[in-house]
Amino acid sequence: MSAAAAAKPWLVFVGGFLGAGKTALILAAGRELERRGISSATVMNDQGDALVDAGLSARQGRLTAEVTGGCFCCRFSALLRALEGLRAGAPEVIFAEPVGSCADISATTLRPLLELRDRYRLAPFTVLADPRRAVELLSPDADPNLAFLFRKQIEEADLVCYTKSDLSFAPPAQQVENGRRLSAKTGQGVAAWLDEVLSGRLAAAERVLEIDYAQYARAEAALVWLNLQARIEPRVPCSPPLVLGPFLEQLDRGLTAEKIVIVHMKAIVDSPEGWVKAAQCANGEPPEVEGDLAASPAARHDLLLNLRALGSAAKIRAIVERALGAIEGVVTEPDGAPDGTAPDRGPRIRCFHPAAPRPERRIANPG
């Protein structure tokens, strides 16, 4: 790209439901751009704070910013500040990942950004769909709140891509016309997708939703957001996988016993000897694991958990606290005291139902 083009970076928004593979695609796309000699950056977004995906992106050397405490639509000013901060690093492409339960992105985020054509070029809005989850959420017996969010996300996409194409699972019968297939794991379709969204041939923010904000608020509030940060000092030094694996198994059992639906659960454990991340999108599902699986035992581990589920916030918090209590060792706040001793404070837990969305701006029709 030319110097003039780099001064006006592409904004590539990648939406999709919780667990669809947004971060995985963005990281794979960043690696592909790096092979082409093109620099990129990423803005992550969450209702809470302390994001597993932001840490993973930064760990891979990506220029990363976060917009926390609400969706891009409700924190639009914060998004603009994050974008301006990233521009200092002169990225040619900036990926942006909205919260996985958000909809109405075109009217509340993309169309307002179109007014900044002198500073940014806006790519078509890509929405990802996990084929297995699409089948579940398009079925007649799907949870009505999750189905509402999923359908609205698909409805406003400029471009729909089915992810995890390395797995032998076909898209649903009601698949979107011309839906692409991608695999961040194998790289299938990633380069072609980048070529398409950065070509300038496809319009952005073409589809604006008709959406009932009262129903949207009810659907958001049905979900529970839990973020946990803790330092774990096991009684006997052990490897990161042996810290994370039993903890997630305990959580899965506890949530399942209470009939609480796991929508997306991801966690990362970091130690001086290495790190490991795991993620799962359903109760009883084997987690997808990556990182230093052969890391040596360590006496200290920092745990970060992002859990999104259907149920009661109080019950979910209690289950997480019981799982922490089952750990054989000392569990405290993640940052140790200056003298190296553990602080007296306990782990940081924030657990809540999202508030009703209140966009800062909404442009329903082109000006």
Per-block mean pLDDT, blocks of 10 residues, the chain (367 long):
66 96 95 96 89 76 89 96 95 96 96 96 96 91 96 96 73 56 90 96 92 97 96 96 96 97 96 94 94 94 96 97 95 66 74 95 79
Question: What confidence score (pLDDT) does residue 364 get?
Answer: 85
Which tokens sit at 126?
């890509």
Domain ranges of the chain: 3-220, 222-352
Strand partners, 126: 14, 159
CA–CA gap between residue 243 and residue 279 (Å, rounded): 15
Do residues 197 and 182 lie in contact, with contact meaning Cβ atoms separated by under 8 Å?
A: no
Helices of type H across the chain: 3-7, 22-35, 52-59, 76-87, 105, 111-114, 131-137, 144-155, 190-197, 213-221, 240-257, 313-325
**Residue 4, C-beta contacts closer than 8 angstroms, at least 6 positions apart:** none
Closest-CA residue to 43 (of 33, 52, 51, 54): 54
Report which residue type is found at 338. P
Output the CATH code of domain 3-220.
3.40.50.300
Residue 341: how many CB atoms within 10 A of its CB? 9
Helix 240-257 and helix 313-325, axial crossing angle in degrees, nearest 10: 140
* DSSP conformation class of 326: T
Question: What confidence score (pLDDT) does residue 171 get?
Answer: 55
Question: What confidence score (pLDDT) does residue 295 get?
Answer: 94
Query: Can you tell me which residue has the tokens 């990506």?
Result: 62
CA–CA gap between residue 119 and residue 116 (Å, rounded): 6
**Residue 353, C-beta contacts closer than 8 angstroms, at least 6 positions apart:** 220, 221, 222, 223, 224, 225, 313
Question: What confidence score (pLDDT) does residue 59 get?
Answer: 75
Question: What confidence score (pLDDT) does residue 338 get?
Answer: 40
Overall pTM surpassing 0.75 (yes/no) = yes
CATH architecture, domain 222-352: 4-Layer Sandwich (3.60)
CA distances from 44 to 62, 99, 215, 341 (A): 12, 8, 25, 33
